[in-house]
Structure 1
Amino acid sequence: MKKVILYITAVCSALCMNSCSDYLDKNPLNSPSDQTFLATETEMQMALASCYSALWTNWETMTFFLALDAASDIGYDRNTNAMQTIAQGAADANSDLARDYWKSFYAGIAKCNYLLENMSRGEENVAPATYAQIKAEAQFLRALYYSYLIELYGDVPLVTEVLTLETGQQPRNPKSEVVDFILKEYTEAAENLPSANNPTSGHATKGAALALKARTALYNERWQDAISASQAVMAMEGTEYIIEDDYSKLFKYEGQTSKEVIFSVQYLLGTQVHALYRLFGSRNALAHTNKKPAYQLADAWECTDGKQIDKSPLFDPKHPYKNRDPRLEFTLAVSGSEFLGFQFETHGDSLLCWNYMTNQRVDNLEATHAYATFTGICWRKYANIEDKDALNDCDMNTILIRYPEVLLTYAEAKIKAGEIDASVLDAINKVRRRPSVNMPPITTTDPNELFYAVARERKYEFAGEGLRLFDIRRWKIAEVVMNQPLLGRMKKSYPDKAPRMDEWGTAFYEGIPIAESGESADFKMRIVDIRKFDKNRDYLWPIPYIERQTNPSLTQNPNYE
């Protein structure tokens, strides 16, 4: 291939030196020309496929949004890397995580801009409906990439055309201005996207555009926009969108086609894969457990009577996972459960455990391996036994948004808008009452109690799915929850009482022994990570250093150097 390229280059050079200028005006016959590209439907579809590529932005193969939970109070990245640094409140403008997300999303935006700016070249060669859909998908993706940029960095340059050397240095636009643009793009895209929900197509749909419009509106306190966009999706319930009966199915291969899924990032062996089995799975199952949930998260879910664990008579400190919201064990692998074919047991004296695939007792690496989960629990979502023989080559799709989020967005926006009615309770309880969960219904209409109920419900429902970071930021509770140490379980016991639970569903361990540095954690909670959060800085990521060097028009976020 390299010889062919060199040969063609040599021929072209000879023509340039020895031929008439007419030759220089010829478009290539065997490949697209930048003068005519996008003149056909095939070329437009090729360009559109490239616009989707930023969806595969990843952190150590984790889809970009899943990785964000490790920067929040519910997750931990064991590896010494930029994600760990951000969670510790120690990031600066040289963070490769902040750099890579910025770079990737703007690369995706640039591809969308190129398609949208130049596709008119072939408009007469494409059926009007197809042309409109291609344009709408590019608008959808551009809005999606901007939605993550503004939530991570705040004010960002709003670039809507192909940049040149002369226009390349764009200043930051106010976040509110970019929000206006995003909502407008989603609205326009929804008008020309198909209504049919096909979760494995990988293409944007009307429902996806409206659902993500509702998300952006909620995050930015545009309550009426969030309500109306949610209502438009809710109008498609029963035909295009459902609440899946079996919650756990959603995060297994069999759940990829569920109509609860509104939009997911597509993976396929041989093209795009991830390593979620290795990152989330247990040591017994030959995975590495690099990414872990915080122990505090396991205490978040209510008991089956609908009360938090410090208020419920059903909570037994000696058996802390009994009588709990089923989503606890659908989300987390906890001691005593079966996980990836093995008995998952993290008690320090449990030197043997069951291998359920062979019906034999085997050495229990969860108790003896130096790098077994430090917190005593693992993520269960997306860790599937089908991937055990190819733990780095998993190709299960990852869900970017699903229908329960729309319902809880609607409920929260209605509460904040002062429009509490029966539809708010109905939306919340559809999520809580799915057959595999079946938690007691929420009945209060007190605005404060109802808001906190929705906030907790988002934690119960979406833990491990990449939404938590933005929730704790927009609710302004990051300065509380991220100024706590991230804990692991007592190695040979459990606390003899429930932690104190606040209205947000956050656990606090006053009066429960926590091991100091160098102390045994056999009968004390283990400190896994020390987190710090500066409320005057850490609600935003830094603008990457390299971007400000190449574009002096960019200002830095407060209190970053």
Structure 2
Amino acid sequence: MTFRSFPLARPATLVALLATAGLQGGCDSFLGPEPRGELTTDNFFETEAHAVQATNATYSYLRNWNVHVFGWIGMTDIASDQSVKGSTPADGSFLLDLDNLTFDPGNNAFSGTWAGYYRGIFRANVALEGIPRVPQMDEALRARLIGENQFLRAYYYSFLVRAYGGVPLVTEPLEPDELEQPRASREETYALIESDLRAAIEALPEESAYGAADAGRATKGAARSLLAKAHLYQEEYEEAYQQATAVINSGEYALYPDYAELFSYAGENSSESVFEVQTVSTAENNAGSQYSQVQGARGNLNLGWGFNQPSDQLEEDFEPGDPRREATILYPWEQIPDGSGRVPYLNPQIQNQRFNQKAFESPDRAGNQGNSGVNIRRIRYADVLLVAAEAAARTGRDAEAQRYLNEVRARARGEMTATLGLQVEALAPSIAQVLNLGGVDSRVFARRVEGAAAEAGLAPLDAGLDTEVEPAPIVVRSIDLVTSVDGAAVQSLADYEAAMASVTPGQTVSVGVVRLRQAAAGAAPTREDLTLSVTAEALLPDVTAAGDALVQAIWRERGSELAMEQHRWFDIIRQGRAPELMAAAGKTFIVGKHELYPIPQSEVESFGLQQNPGY
């Protein structure tokens, strides 16, 4: 077997391999000028610096287009019920086939990820072969670097086995006459993953042992977490429980207090970060990725290409008032999360007007979207808690499962215990100017209204473009500004949250509302002052269910907590829920076929690899 888009055999030179070997940490940790002269596998591994550089090369490929960008996003999110292709209808047709589950073995996503992940494995194999023979180096560092490459090889294989099932196992750089390798079984592939991760656990330090310059390197906790997930996918629940709880009991991690801020620049490498792909946005080098560019809002304000948009199903799946909905979905007319007050305008060329806010990159950053500095969060502590919760529930430890689950829910609700069924946002200055608010002090509006608030008569934002005019200006057909809650004046989101912090479930409160309507763009709005009575309900209450109902609650929580973070497709496959969820999304999931993606057609035709069932 061969992978024509990259070297699988021993390379004649390592210059190309190391050209992108940036360390996964801060700017001062990136490599300087690339090594001079011709470097080969025979003369390269001579110094400690060579061992570090080879390891950095394995990390650097995590930023690659074929590893954590276009096709990968399609295979992990767009294929699922929580996302749609996005962008303009004709753009990215191969992603539309993933969205509709009409893909075949020739789809670009499969050939791309297959090549990308095997190239990452190739780099790990080069390092694992070469580092042991470096003649003089610190032995603790040698052991750690070997452990890092074992973790990374396991990480690369973890995607391949979930996507394609058993795959060819390549554990060393091959000679030219060794290129044709057979597919291993799923069990054999997981056995390699587990072996690498167990070795990595022994070799790697805990998170706290690293300095700031080494942020993003693999840790004992990351290896345990990935091993826990490998066991979970194999329904080995006791083993998953043991590994996940070891991470929890290590005391190395904690949930970040502010869920929305977790996905901002301030939340990178936070207390919740178990493993995230490090990127740096600079104008001078290629240390970023196109992760945010692919998913950013498209049009005016231009943040990217507009792919991977949250679906109707995802918007509905959040429980009433769940703050994670607003932190996950970037809407038209919503202020972008960089403090600038700017908003993405409605784009009439795009069918679905929602974007992945967790992938946000400010247009003011040095590298902009094409060289984005958005770290790609791959394992969060919340994920580990939910793995532990599910494994505990599956092994008869319901009380422990409830505790881990409710810890995640408590962080999500913050200081509030009740909701009125409102998703509120801060009114952008540009929208306020369009409305000419005059004497209205509040800048808090209802984006979405559900439950008791809808029954009481509150209404969600209704805004669009007046397409009769060129260029099309904003028209706000209806907007409800919240001016008070239970007698407390509301002018800002902080005011609203402070007022809601004292509201309890079941309490009926008065809500002051100013409703503004525009008949046409530029028209003076009509105003209606309302006082509505709304009965609050519990916001993300603690789960007390047991048995199968508890497992179902954990699955639902994963859908809300980890939405748009590229976990959904593989989650619903292993849970056995894909047929029903995809049917609800209007897609036909074929049992016995769609559990796995097809092996790329080029590999089947050239090397006789056995194709997966149904293709």
State the TM-score, normalizing by the size of structure 2. 0.67
Instruction: Give per-residue Cα distances to partners, 1:511-539, cap 9 Å, x unaligned.
Output: xxxxxxxxxxxxxxxxxxxx332222111
Match of 1:396 among 362, 374, 380: 374
Instruction: Look up the match of 1:412.
Output: 390
Does 1:300 find its partner at 2:317? Answer: yes
Match of 2:301 among 271, 278, 285: 285
After superposition, residues 439-458 of structure 1 pair within 5 angstroms as 439-458=539-558
Counterparts of 1:341 and 1:229, CA distance in 2: 37
Contact 1:65 1:465 survives alignment (8 Å): no
Instruction: Look up the match of 1:113.
Output: 125
Instruction: Look up the match of 1:492.
Output: none
Contact 2:301 2:345 survives alignment (8 Å): no
Counterparts of 2:345 and 2:299, CA distance in 1: 6
In the superposition, relative to structure 1, how do residues 36 and 340 fare at CA in structure 2: closer, same or farther (>3 Å)?
closer
Instruction: Look up the match of 1:538.
Output: 594
Letter in 2 for 1:556: Q
Q: Secondary structure at the match of 1:413?
A: helix
- 1:387 shift after superposition: 4.2
After superposition, residues 249-268 of structure 1 pair within 5 angstroms as 249-268=261-280
Match of 1:170 among 181, 184, 196: 181
In the superposition, relative to structure 1, how do residues 273 and 217 fare at CA in structure 2: closer, same or farther (>3 Å)?
same
Greater mean alpha carbon deviation, residues 81-90 or residues 274-283: 274-283
Counterparts of 1:341 and 1:137, CA distance in 2: 34
Q: Secondary structure at the match of 2:198?
A: helix
Q: Secondary structure at the match of 1:482?
A: helix
- 1:85 shift after superposition: 1.0
Does 1:72 find its partner at 2:80? Answer: yes
Match of 1:461 among 556, 561, 565: 561
- 1:207 shift after superposition: 0.9
Instruction: Give per-residue Cα distances to partners, 1:189-216, cap 9 Å, x unaligned.
Output: 0111121256872311111111111111
Letter in 1 for 2:257: D
Counterparts of 1:162 and 1:102, CA distance in 2: 17
Counterparts of 1:251 and 1:555, CA distance in 2: 41
In the superposition, relative to structure 1, how do residues 558 and 60 fare at CA in structure 2: closer, same or farther (>3 Å)?
closer
Greater mean alpha carbon deviation, residues 188-197 or residues 209-218: 188-197
Counterparts of 2:220 and 2:70, CA distance in 1: 23
- 1:555 shift after superposition: 0.5
After superposition, residues 93-172 of structure 1 pair within 5 angstroms as 93-122=105-134, 124-172=135-183
Greater mean alpha carbon deviation, residues 187-196 or residues 32-41: 32-41
In the superposition, relative to structure 1, how do residues 260 and 386 fare at CA in structure 2: closer, same or farther (>3 Å)?
farther
Counterparts of 1:450 and 1:387, CA distance in 2: 44
Counterparts of 2:222 and 2:67, CA distance in 1: 27
Does 1:211 find its partner at 2:219? Answer: no
Instruction: Give per-residue Cα distances to partners, 1:381-421, cap 9 Å, x unaligned.
Output: 1224464783433212110111011110001011122332x
- 1:230 shift after superposition: 0.6
State the TM-score, normalizing by the size of structure 1. 0.74
In the superposition, relative to structure 1, how do residues 396 and 153 fare at CA in structure 2: closer, same or farther (>3 Å)?
same
Instruction: Give per-residue Cα distances to partners, 1:489-515, cap 9 Å, x unaligned.
Output: xxxxxxxxxxxxxxxxxxxxxxxxxxx
After superposition, residues 53-92 of structure 1 pair within 5 angstroms as 53-58=60-65, 62=69, 66-67=73-74, 68-78=76-86, 79-92=91-104
Contact 2:168 2:183 survives alignment (8 Å): yes
How many aligned residue pairs are there? 444
Letter in 1 for 2:42: Q
In the superposition, relative to structure 1, how do residues 407 and 31 fare at CA in structure 2: closer, same or farther (>3 Å)?
same
In the superposition, relative to structure 1, how do residues 230 and 63 fare at CA in structure 2: closer, same or farther (>3 Å)?
farther
In the superposition, relative to structure 1, how do residues 532 and 57 fare at CA in structure 2: closer, same or farther (>3 Å)?
farther
In the superposition, relative to structure 1, how do residues 220 and 301 fare at CA in structure 2: closer, same or farther (>3 Å)?
same
Greater mean alpha carbon deviation, residues 272-281 or residues 220-229: 272-281
- 1:169 shift after superposition: 1.4
Counterparts of 1:47 and 1:559, CA distance in 2: 40
Counterparts of 1:43 and 1:548, CA distance in 2: 37
Match of 1:44 among 25, 46, 51: 51
Unaligned runs of 5+ in 2: 1-34, 417-538
Q: Secondary structure at the match of 1:292?
A: strand
- 1:61 shift after superposition: 7.6
In the superposition, relative to structure 1, how do residues 95 and 34 fare at CA in structure 2: closer, same or farther (>3 Å)?
same
Does 1:472 find its partner at 2:598? Answer: no
Contact 2:67 2:113 survives alignment (8 Å): no
Match of 1:234 among 240, 244, 248: 248
Counterparts of 2:72 and 2:108, CA distance in 1: 16
Instruction: Look up the match of 1:558.
Output: 613
- 1:250 shift after superposition: 1.2
In the superposition, relative to structure 1, how do residues 31 and 446 fare at CA in structure 2: closer, same or farther (>3 Å)?
same
Contact 1:263 1:400 survives alignment (8 Å): yes
Letter in 2 for 1:426: R
Counterparts of 1:428 and 1:284, CA distance in 2: 40
Contact 2:322 2:412 survives alignment (8 Å): no
Contact 1:98 1:543 survives alignment (8 Å): yes
Counterparts of 1:278 and 1:166, CA distance in 2: 39
Instruction: Give per-residue Cα distances to partners, 1:214-239, cap 9 Å, x unaligned.
Output: 111111211122111111110123xx
Counterparts of 1:382 and 1:128, CA distance in 2: 39
Letter in 2 for 1:204: A
Q: Secondary structure at the match of 2:81?
A: coil
- 1:445 shift after superposition: 4.2
Instruction: Give per-residue Cα distances to partners, 1:461-501, cap 9 Å, x unaligned.
Output: 00010000111111122222223446xxxxxxxxxxxxxxx
Q: Secondary structure at the match of 1:400?
A: strand
Contact 1:281 1:340 survives alignment (8 Å): no
Letter in 2 for 1:222: E
Instruction: Look up the match of 1:431.
Output: 408
Letter in 2 for 1:274: S
Instruction: Give per-residue Cα distances to partners, 1:113-160, cap 9 Å, x unaligned.
Output: 2222233321x4011101101110110011001100000001111222
Contact 1:241 1:259 survives alignment (8 Å): yes
Counterparts of 1:455 and 1:101, CA distance in 2: 27
- 1:341 shift after superposition: 7.9
Counterparts of 2:41 and 2:389, CA distance in 1: 48
Contact 1:113 1:160 survives alignment (8 Å): yes
Contact 2:66 2:72 survives alignment (8 Å): no
Counterparts of 2:93 and 2:236, CA distance in 1: 36
- 1:64 shift after superposition: 6.6
Counterparts of 1:278 and 1:106, CA distance in 2: 22
Contact 1:327 1:460 survives alignment (8 Å): yes
Contact 1:56 1:64 survives alignment (8 Å): no
Instruction: Look up the match of 2:4.
Output: none
Counterparts of 1:463 and 1:371, CA distance in 2: 25
Higher relative contact order (Cα pairs below 8 Å, separated by 6+ residues) = 1
Instruction: Look up the match of 1:548.
Output: 604
In the superposition, relative to structure 1, how do residues 446 and 120 fare at CA in structure 2: closer, same or farther (>3 Å)?
closer
Unaligned runs of 5+ in 1: 1-27, 304-323, 343-354, 487-530
Counterparts of 1:116 and 1:391, CA distance in 2: 33
Instruction: Look up the match of 2:581.
Output: 481
- 1:93 shift after superposition: 1.4
